[in-house]
Amino acid sequence: MPTYKYPRPSVTVDIVVFGYDGGAQLKLLLIKRGSEPYKGSWALPGGFVDMDETLETAALRELEEETGVKDLYVEQLYTYGAPDRDPRGRVISVAYFSLVNLQDHPAVAASDATKAEWFPTNELPDLAFDHADIIAAATKRLAAKVRYQPIGFELLPEEFTLGQLQHLYETVLNVEAFNKRNFRTRILRTGILEEVGRQKNVAHRPAVLYRFNETAYKKLAEERDGAVLRRALDFEI
């Protein structure tokens, strides 16, 4: 039993994983808590950070232990440290954020007693701790991220149609259909998509299938970094 000169908080990680399956809503991965506090409530996957692992490692480990979902890209979201956010005492939680497509990450095997489930983002249950706040922050981050990064990289399967991509954007931004012509023009103009074939056996004109070209994307990102220097402020907000 370790003893310290001064009291110390506990440190946890929580992970917000958004999943997409082509439907009308994004989904969110939650677990049912098997122990107190908030036993029986739904919560974000997560848990205590071990002393010899990085925060990101802890996030990925807890996620796999609790939901079976693994092999994904995560980015740090925000750290929550209100003194009263956990009834067990001072617990500071580093929240992580991830995007996956549900085809590649369907597994929701609960390794211990807890259940794990994908919930449509518009039908979330009551959540333990301040996890509703964390999810709200993640949703905001996603809406911001979509503006400057092609989130389809993570949320869509390897090959997809422009219709699917547009549908994803409409879902994430929560809007009715925006103009098809302009969406296509803009996204194709960037050059980050490459054709890989055509749909088969669909009851309409078969769509061209595309794949993200990561090389082209990185090149575009570099050019844009240079352009910022000339264009400077946008004050888009």
Chain residues binding a copy of itself by CB under 8 A are 1-11, 48-49, 51-55, 76, 78-79, 81-83, 90, 92, 94, 143, 146-150, 169, 173-175, 178, 183, 186-187, 190, 192, 220-221, 224-225, 228-230, 232-237
Quick check: 23 binds DNA (CB under 7 A)?
Answer: no
Q: Please, which residue, 123 or 236, has the CB nearer to a copy of itself?
A: 236
Residue 208 interacts, among a copy of itself, DNA, none and using kind-specific CB cut-offs from 5 to 8 Å, with DNA
Closest to 113 measured CA to CA, from 49, 196, 39: 39
| Sign of the torsion formed by the C-alpha atoms of 202, 204, 205 and 211 | negative
Quick check: 201 binds DNA (CB under 7 A)?
Answer: yes
Residue 211 interacts, among a copy of itself, DNA, none and using kind-specific CB cut-offs from 5 to 8 Å, with none
Quick check: 234 binds DNA (CB under 7 A)?
Answer: yes
Closest to 124 measured CA to CA, from 141, 139, 105: 139
| Region from 51-59, 83-91, 134-142, 203-211 binding DNA, contact rule CB under 7 A | 203-211
CB half-sphere exposure, 57, CA atoms < 13 A: 6
126-155 binders of DNA (CB under 7 A):
none
3-state SS class at 200: coil
Phi-psi region of 129 (alpha: psi -120 to 50; beta: other; left: phi over 0): left
CA distance 68 to 47: 15
Structure tokens at 22: 């082509």
Instruction: Give the N- to C-terminal CA distance of the chain in Å, as an integer.
Output: 51
Among 82, 132, 136, 202, binds DNA (CB under 7 A): 202
CA distance 82 to 137: 15
Q: Please, which residue, 5 or 189, has the CB nearer to DNA?
A: 189
CA distance 130 to 126: 11
| Region from 43-51, 95-103, 137-145, 200-208 binding DNA, contact rule CB under 7 A | 200-208
| Region from 5-13, 17-25, 81-89, 185-193 binding DNA, contact rule CB under 7 A | 185-193
DSSP-derived secondary structure for 107-125: ----SSS--EEEEETTS--
Q: How far is the CB of 224 from DNA (least distance, A)?
A: 11
Among 61, 85, 184, 211, binds DNA (CB under 7 A): 184
- Is residue 18 within 8 Å of 100, Cβ to Cβ? yes
48-87 binders of DNA (CB under 7 A):
none
Q: Please, which residue, 103 or 174, has the CB nearer to a copy of itself?
A: 174
Residues near DNA (CB under 7 A) are 161-164, 179-182, 184-186, 189, 198, 200-208, 227, 230-231, 234
